[in-house]
Amino acid sequence: EDQVTQSPEALRLQEGESSSLNCSYTVSGLRGLFWYRQDPGKGPEFLFTLYSAGEEKEKERLKATLTKKESFLHITAPKPEDSATYLCAVQADDYKLSFGAGTTVTVRA
């Protein structure tokens, strides 16, 4: 059974204080690892897809990396508008996504 564990559950940052979110996974036949951002009361929005160990993707202040067992989402010099819940999901051969419980990030000005 595919398993995805995200840590920490919650992260409180001061504006400009860089940090990282962790997503560890167990899956047979990884097709892709996905990061989503979810604002309160809304559906998740796509951020990144990573396919193989060593791959990195960047978007503004966010950078996602992938190893064979985990992925990291690095937030560099965060701003209050980066406050959200960040979800990690893995996709195996059957096209279904298995999600972690998410990390809720709060950035204070």
60 CB-near residues (< 8 Å, 6+ apart): none
From the CB of 46, what's the least distance to another protein, in Å? 5
List contacts with another protein (CB under 8 A): 9, 32, 34, 36, 41-46, 49, 51, 87, 89, 91, 95-97, 99-102
From the CB of 76, what's the least distance to another protein, in Å? 24
From the CB of 56, what's the least distance to another protein, in Å? 15
Nearer residue to another protein within complex by CB, 9 or 15: 9
Cβ(100)–Cβ(8) under 8 Å? Answer: no
Look at the block and give the residue holding tokens 């940090």: 19
Nearer residue to another protein within complex by CB, 14 or 95: 95
- Separation of alpha carbons 22 and 41, rounded Å: 23
* Residue 29: closest CA among 76, 60, 68, 84: 68
